[in-house]
Amino acid sequence: MSRPGAAAALCLAALACAGCRVVKPGDPLPGLTRDQRDRFQRGRAVFDSVFTPETGLGPLFNSTACGECHEDPKSGGTGDEVEVHATAFRGGVCDPLVQEGGPVIQQHTTPALKQALGIDQEPFPPSATARAMRTTPVIFGRGLLDLVPDSVILSYADPDDKNHDGISGRPNRNVDGRIGRFGRKALVPTLREFNAGAFVAEQGVTNPAVPTEETIGGKPIPPGVDPVADPEINQDQLDLTNDFVRFLAAPTPARLGGAGGRGREIFSRIGCPACHVPTLRTGDSPVAALRFKYFAAYTDLLLHDMGPDLADICLGLATPAEFRTEPLVGLRSVKKFLHDGRAATPEQAIEAHGGEGAGVRDRFKALPAGERQALIAFLKSL
């Protein structure tokens, strides 16, 4: 697997002082035009809008606003909500259980749906073979990840581990065959699609890209329960939300003291960059602030087998044990670690790595205490 270690380090050094303007979590990308900054602000208003049944919420939902979950420390950050997903993995094929309501099991219902069916949440699909808990990821810098060319993602793939380094990343594929990159299992190819799907799967808010509601465990919504005409938001609202999310900057890594600087070196020495690739570069874009930009990503956007202890659901080509390398950008804002929040600290998260991450985990555990602390200080600077 080719890893651009030295080049990445150089790029990171440049990134740390890109114009020497510190970008804080929740800030817009540096270099946006006045019009783009205006759309960022207006998009944030839609992102933070609280929906009600009268404005399109539900009838099934996990949250009433994008910003209800993505709230800490700013809109686009993390949150303490944990949601439930489920799929079935049989004979090596993943079934996202669309016929039983799909992989996202909404945890809330509107009063009208509760009155009609007497349920407080979507029924758990009876055919599921696994349940997954999912925390709210920070979404800073996701507009940059959106523009990393597929060819770059494929350049890091080594599905058969031909270089025998024990790392064998491979891309996931969307249901239509395109390379995926968003979501903990990298099912979704683009940010725009992720956002449009999330409006419906998370809030029950239909939109021009997804004009139909989720079913109730595969059954139709009872008549009269969801009286707002579809789509429940218009194209302008959807576009503004997309602009807010894609214009969210990756925060500038905090200035590293001596320990943190050593931590970055240790991060490389024990092999973390084999999956958490420090720097990626965007491709072309009409938005100059997104075009051909190096940024601190700390992901290869590929699936890796993380071992049986972390395994939960399948999704697309991802087996239960395979997860996309989590981007570490914005890690300083994270309160619960790993896809399901089981780790309370970065140390616990590293120690839970298995499968392809087992070698790095073991090297981390073998470090002297001072070096472990230095590595953690570096991670908390991101």
Partner 1 sequence: MKRGGVFAITGVLAGSLAGVAQHAAPQPAALYTYQGTVHSMQAKTGTLELITGVGLALRLVQIRIPTGLRLAGTATGAASMGASGVKPGDVVRVVCHRADGRLVADKVEKLEPTP
Binding site for partner 1 (CB under 8 A): 92-96, 98-99, 102-104, 150-151, 154, 173, 175-177, 182-183, 187-188, 193-198, 200-201, 206, 209-210, 212-215, 220-221, 226-230, 232
Nearer to partner 1, 50 or 154 (CB): 154
Nearer to partner 1, 150 or 351 (CB): 150
Q: Where are the alpha helices (DSSP H) in the chain?
A: 5-15, 34-47, 66-69, 111-117, 142-146, 150-156, 191-203, 235-246, 258-269, 346-351, 358-365, 369-379
Nearer to partner 1, 25 or 197 (CB): 197
Helix axes of 235-246 and 191-203: crossing angle, nearest 10 degrees: 120
3-state secondary structure of 104: strand
Closest distance between partner 1 and the C-beta of residue 324, in Å?
Answer: 14
Length of the chain: 382
Nearer to partner 1, 210 or 249 (CB): 210
3-state secondary structure of 318: strand
Closest distance between partner 1 and the C-beta of residue 285, in Å?
Answer: 21
Nearer to partner 1, 6 or 229 (CB): 229
Return the structure tokens found at 256.
């590293």
Closest distance between partner 1 and the C-beta of residue 203, in Å?
Answer: 11
Q: Using DSSP bridges, classify how beta strands 79-90 and 104-105 pair: parallel, antiparallel or unpaired.
A: antiparallel
Closest distance between partner 1 and the C-beta of residue 196, in Å?
Answer: 5
Closest distance between partner 1 and the C-beta of residue 363, in Å?
Answer: 33
3-state secondary structure of 33: coil
- Can you tell me the distance from the alpha carbon of 17 to that of 210, in angstroms, rounded to the nearest whole number? 41
Nearer to partner 1, 118 or 220 (CB): 220
Closest distance between partner 1 and the C-beta of residue 327, in Å?
Answer: 18
- Can you tell me the distance from the alpha carbon of 73 to that of 51, in angstroms, rounded to the nearest whole number? 21
Q: Where are the alpha helices (DSSP H) in 53-149?
A: 66-69, 111-117, 142-146
